[in-house]
Amino acid sequence: MHTVVVGTSGVTASDVLAVARDGARIELSGEAVAALAAAREIVDALAAKPEPVYGVSTGFGALASRHISPELRAQLQRNIVRSHAAGMGPHVEREVVRALMFLRLKTVCSGHTGVRPEVAQTMADILNAGITPVVHEYGSLGCSGDLAPLSHCALTLMGEGDAEGPDGVVRPAGELLAAHGITPVELREKEGLALLNGTDGMLGMLVMALADLETLYKSADVTAALSLEALLGTDKVLAPELHAIRPHPGQGASAANMLAVLKGSELTGHHQDDAPRVQDAYSVRCAPQVAGAGRDTLTHARTVAERELASAVDNPVVLPDGRVESNGNFHGAPVAYVLDFLAIAAADLGSIAERRTDRLLDKNRSHGLPPFLADDAGVDSGLMIAQYTQAALVSEMKRLAVPASADSIPSSAMQEDHVSMGWSAARKLRTAVNNLARIVAIELYAATRAIELRAGLTPAPASQAVIAAVRAAGVQGPGPDRFLAPDLEAADAFVRAGGVVTAVEPVTGPLA
């Protein structure tokens, strides 16, 4: 099994995906263990002094003015975890929780948190055992970190609360730790706070969304090209010299992808046939501009994610010169903004895909295709209601595009009076990504059927490869009406698994 080694300088997106989705094992580097021990010495020294230090010998948040005596400090750390583990609602997905824990471990290992090496090792042991704390949907405002979600994880570290075993069964966390020979942690000064104070949940969901969207944007370029082909559109608008004079990188990449897919097609360029056109509709002609703007948004979001992956997010932090200083680095605004940006871009990509699907089904705009791509229109409804489903998904995408980060709701007796709502932005983005995959799948379903109905004209080799692959995946072609939901489900699974890109690239070469 792949092993991810956690050091002091952060982790990569591929590390997060390996741990969250593939169950990769985790090891702590010698450098990380040494940094943990050195920072802990500083915290222990400060804890022994009579002067109060926030997070070490004081209360938290609006209660930070109280100095906590040494005999109460272990209780203080337990209490912050127990009281903050206040989430409600459905259980969060296993991959999200694993990413959340792994990214908190990444910050702990930076040497800036003052956590003991044995605490970090126990976090790694829990992940390696396949134990997943039960984390709930609601409880994070995205400031002072993802407090409730991280608290539920810390509770498992203490052997309390509930967790899911590697078999998927939820049991008391103490039982699961004992079954895997893991000793619960007795938290000491600052450790409870350090386990809760990070943007790890929203960052983990950002990293996974970026991976999924990268595949979906390539897939959407392919389905846009298939729709252009099925509509007998022109590929002249994809010429690189046209996109060079408006040099947005994403636009150029999308146009190049579409042009590569359409190479060798006999269906493109029929504008002067029976239904002459000067130009294709915007949803066809402007596909690279819309998808390209989304791609550039992905690039910006990836830059933010990379910076966060290299960051140590905690409050207070231990500095190399021995100071322990308070800060506001836990605020989730940088991550929240890009999560919202991505939801906006995804909604627009879904919207333009739906417009192309509708055009394929409308006999007045499809340039010779049967109404709704039906076998016997009137007796058969064809893909009429598939477009309804797609439209419903697009409508929800537009609602999900309303930015969570534009909101703020004060908390902690007005001490935490401006919050990011980044966790909420991440949760709705996950729904948006799932919806986008379904929308792309429906366009794929319609476009492949439409191409097959263009008798006498040979589609591009890349298009033929996609059609063959999607049919092999159980998505049926033209014919009389049948139970449509299984076909759409199979198309969705094909898109999510990267089947569109996998089918095309042996013909086109790697897509941008």
* pLDDT of residue 62 exceeding 80: no
pLDDT number for residue 66: 81
| 54 has catalytic annotation | yes
pLDDT number for residue 47: 85
pLDDT number for residue 218: 98
User: pTM of the entire structure?
Assistant: 0.95
* Active-site residue identified among 54, 217, 282, 337: 54
pLDDT digits (tens, 9 = 90+) for 333-371: 999 999 999 999 999 999 999 999 999 999 999 999 999
* pLDDT of residue 1 exceeding 80: no
Nearest-Å Rg of the Cα atoms of the chain is 26
Give the DSSP H or E segment for 398.
helix 384-400
- Could you give the CA distance from residue 239 to residue 89 in angstroms, rounded to a whole number? 50
Task: Kindly state the average pLDDT of the residues 51-56.
Answer: 78
Q: Report the b/e string of 423-458 with b at 16+ CB within 10 A.
A: bbbbbbbbebbebbbbbbbbbbbbbbbbbbbbeeee
pLDDT number for residue 402: 98
pLDDT digits (tens, 9 = 90+) for 460-470: 999 999 999 99
pLDDT number for residue 276: 66
Mean pLDDT comparison of 40-49, 272-281, 503-512, highest-scoring range? 503-512
* pLDDT of residue 36 exceeding 90: yes
Number of Cβ within a 10 Å radius of residue 166: 13
Average pLDDT over the chain reads 95
**Alpha helices, H only, 158-286:** 173-179, 191-196, 200-230, 240-244, 249-262, 282-285
Tokens of 63: 């209660």
**pLDDT band (50, 70, 90) for residue 61:** low
- Could you give the CA distance from residue 426 to residue 428 in angstroms, rounded to a whole number? 6
- Could you give the CA distance from residue 366 to residue 511 in angstroms, rounded to a whole number? 28
The residue type at 139: G
Tokens of 80: 């912050």
Task: Kindly state the average pLDDT of the residues 142-156.
Answer: 93
